[in-house]
Structure 1
């Protein structure tokens, strides 16, 4: 969903300023167990329609912390940040939950309650590179 100020800028033929996104400090708590035991969690990261990558799989850990950081140099304020949390299994990777939020300038830490249980906590910084 686009914000009203963004629509006004687009209507005037202007573009939103590009920004630098840094996503870090991804951690989860109380990820649900599956039939084979505790969760083998990982996270896939998207900025707008751009796939930024995924974390390593943390095996047998209901409270994983991921060291990876993700950066995107063409992010825009108002773009959607999407984090998909999965449990890796032998045949299928079960989607535990999706966190989606429109990005704002500055540094923000959020807790996201996952559909199948557990909480994903993450921090992102969105800096205006045109300042």
Structure 2
């Protein structure tokens, strides 16, 4: 009985630590289909990755591609429970980059592959992620 109680207390403590220190989010498999950029050119698309105030960085841009794929993988540490994953799709330009759309994804634990979201200006962004402690 005492070992059962100490095990329960230990598990509770580990769960509390995980909530305090946050979880790890890994993002990979970013690609898009049917992106729409400026009226006269194909988009030079790239993706910015973040979870709340934690920036994961961004992909390289793909010149003149409506259906770009990126090899980039991102790992974000210390993500607090309830913080959504944000994927912003941009079109690189000479002066000011154009924001094509933002995908805000509520995270659920586990590995999720080949997920998708619609990009505001047209097209679909695909991604995979793992959310774990």
TM-score range, shorter chain: 0.7 to 0.9
Q: Alpha-carbon deviations, 1:61-96, whole Å to 9, x = none?
A: 110001000101212332110010001111221111
Q: How many residues align?
A: 115
Q: Name stretches of at least 5 consecutive residues in structure 2 with no aligned partner.
A: 1-15
TM-score, normalization: structure 2? 0.80
CA apart distance, 1:49: 1.4
Counterpart secondary structure, 1:56: coil
CA distance in 2, matches of 1:115, 1:38: 16
1:77 and 1:102 in contact (8 A); partners too: no
Is 1:119 equivalent to 2:119 in the alignment? no
1:107 and 1:125 in contact (8 A); partners too: yes
CA distance in 1, matches of 2:77, 2:50: 13
Structure number with the higher helix fraction is 2
Matches within 5 A, 1:31-110: 31-109=35-113, 110=115
Correspondence for 2:28: 24
TM-score, normalization: structure 1? 0.81
CA RMSD between the two structures: 1.5
Structure number with the higher strand fraction is 1
